[in-house]
Amino acid sequence: MSAYNIIDHEYDVLVVGAGGSGLRAAVGLSESGLKTACISKVFPTRSHTAAAQGGISAALGNAGEDDWRWHMYDTVKGSDWLGDQDSIEYLCKEAPQAVIELEHYGVPFSRTKNGKIYQRAFGGMTKNYGNEPVQRTCAAADRTGHAILHTLYGQALKHKTEFFIEYFALDLLMKNGECKGVMAWNLNDGTIHRFRSHITILATGGYGKIYYSATAAHTCTGDGNGMALRAGLPLQDMEFVQFHPTGLYGVGCLISEAFRGEGGFLVNSKGERFMEKYAPKAKDLASRDVVSRSMAIEINEGRGIGEHKVSHSFTY
């Protein structure tokens, strides 16, 4: 006999997480006619996708010549040649159509004078395989993630996705090595719920909040990783956490990459523009790993700013 009164639910597909990935999965599944549920520990439009400011990259070519192959090259190079190149090829090849799809869903992208989706320069984005910077990042002002999240939530509701909001996923239901659903805790009234499903999709976000200073929200605690690990499923590449180079130390407040895309540059305590030394071509628009490492070198050599010499200054 169970110590708790367990409330049962059955669905074709269960999506855990209601950020950009989870909502897009829910939209596609519901649209295809599958009975779909989405559980989230926060209200969907409070998911961390809302914090993504700068934009989403796709080789649309609205601000000059561009090619998905150049995008792929930049992404492989930006991964320090460690990325899964089949996945990167698919990502970059499909990105233009995915952005157009978001536009058709209703994402209010900023526009150029001739009505096309506005694109801005972002770190690591080049044309002709690293030759010169290119404007590839599609933006909705400085709140692109917020716009995408609200639009996808509206589409999910339109296609009858059932939401269980402020439900905390506890563990995967496993049978003979297969996932059959999820146990969840209703944070509102403390009840325990058993969600049975033919397919379970984990879209639970990252685990950046394990670090002292990070731009990740307090909700980014790796819940999905923990559930998978407890279920005996393997995890890989856990060390590859991308750090956004520019933020306020100790506070975890993001300074958008758009600052550098619009002409801002980094200086050290001597007022020197140091990225020219580490990335002579891309300079302040080098990929995030390069900018992060360059900043770390400057700080470790005593050229950081502030009381503890742990940060850098932006200049226009």
Q: Which amino acid is at 97?
A: Q
Q: In 3D, which of 56, 126, 142 has the Cα closest to residue 287?
A: 126
Active-site residue, selected from the candidate residues 46, 196, 288, 303? 288
The 10s digit of each residue's pLDDT in 219-235 is 999 999 999 999 999 99
Quote the DSSP letter at residue 111.
B
Q: pLDDT tens for residues 282-301?
A: 898 888 889 989 999 999 99
Q: What is the pLDDT of residues 67-99, one digit of tens each?
A: 999 999 999 999 989 999 999 999 999 999 999
User: 138, 57 in Cβ contact below 8 A?
Assistant: yes
Those residues with Cβ within 8 angstroms of residue 178's Cβ, 6 or more apart along the chain or in another chain: none
Interatomic CA distance for residues 144 and 146, integer angstroms? 5
Could you give all domains of the chain from N- to C-terminal order, each with its CATH number?
Answer: 6-49+147-230 (3.50.50.60), 54-142 (no CATH), 247-315 (3.90.700.10)
Report which DSSP code applies to 281.
T
Contact 294, 287 (CB under 8 A): no
pLDDT tens per residue, range 98-145 = 999 999 999 999 999 999 999 999 989 999 999 999 999 999 999 999
Instruction: Specify the amino acid at residue 59.
Output: A
- Exposed / middle / buried, residue 209 (Cβ in 10 Å: 0-12, 13-18, 19+): middle
pTM listed for this prediction: 0.90
Q: In Å, what is the CA distance from 109 to each residue of 94, 124, 154, 304?
A: 18, 22, 16, 37
Record the tokens describing residue 217, joined without a space: 């929200």
Which tokens hold the place of 159? 């296609």
CA distance 10 to 194: 8
- Terminal-residue alpha carbon distance, the chain: 67
Known active-site residue 24: no
